[in-house]
Amino acid sequence: MIRKIILLTVLLVSTHLFAQENSFSIPDYKSIEKEIKDKKSAFFYPNLMERLTKNDTLLTPDEFRHLYFGYVFQPKYNAFWRSPDEKKLREFYGKDKLETSDYDEIIKLAEHSLSEFPFDLSQLNYLAYIYHLKGDENAAKITSFKFHSIINAIFSSGDGKTCESGFYVLLVDHEYVLLKLFDVESESQALVGNCDYLSFEKGKYKVDGIYFNIEKMLENETKSFR
């Protein structure tokens, strides 16, 4: 079931991970924080979040960068966040075949999860697929737009080749969502400076591993223990 969802998404996501060249821009957190807190700014965070929750498909890539990377400055940001509906949703994930009667319950649970954390990539991916199965292509398109826009915001932050150019992520879960998108598996995980380094089987892929910058996750973790 999950593999079908992932394959559906892979067709729509560009293969930045294995690209020879990938232009990127490391998030300037100082500038982002200033802009999202300025009520006169086009990137004022409450306005951007309202547009996101109202399914505004005119949000630009730059606006999604401010939404995603600016979330670390929101009081609700929690690097350890887990969906409160994860257990129930996993019961549906494990089914070989979903019943049409399952759709509305899955949508209800996934939407609740997203109301808690709008960047829950796993649920956005799953929700788009369920809307597609249900025949609601408009909702599927909107949800896919959010998913891919967030993914592209992450891709715009680095190339994953070194810690200095690692992809910036809000949660460890986002690292594994990206790996699933490209149908690759990691053999091990190690903390290298401010990065998670996920290594692959030697020679199996075009790269031996991928770096994710978790600087803001580490800062959030430190705050939680104060």
DSSP one-letter string for 51-97: HHHTT-TT--HHHHHHHHHHGGGSTT--TT---TTHHHHHHHHT-SS
How confident is the model over 172-208, as pLDDT tens digits?
Answer: 999 999 998 878 889 999 999 999 999 999 888 888 9
pLDDT at position 95 over 90: no
User: Which of 8-12, 74-78, 111-115, 162-166 bottoms out in mean pLDDT, i.e. has the lowest?
Assistant: 8-12
* Residues paired with residue 192 on neighbouring β-strands, in sequence order: 195
d(CA 17, CA 166): 11
pLDDT at position 81 over 90: yes
Give buried/exposed letters for 167-204 (b at 16+ CB in 10 A, else e): bbbbbeebbbbbbbbeebebeeeeeeebbbbbebeeee
Question: What's the pTM value of the predicted model, to 2 decimals?
Answer: 0.90
| Confidence band, pLDDT 50/70/90 cuts, at residue 10 | very low
Residue 15: the pLDDT is 47
* Residues paired with residue 212 on neighbouring β-strands, in sequence order: 167, 196
**pLDDT averaged over the chain?**
89
Among residues 199, 202, 209, 120, which one has the least CA distance to residue 159?
209
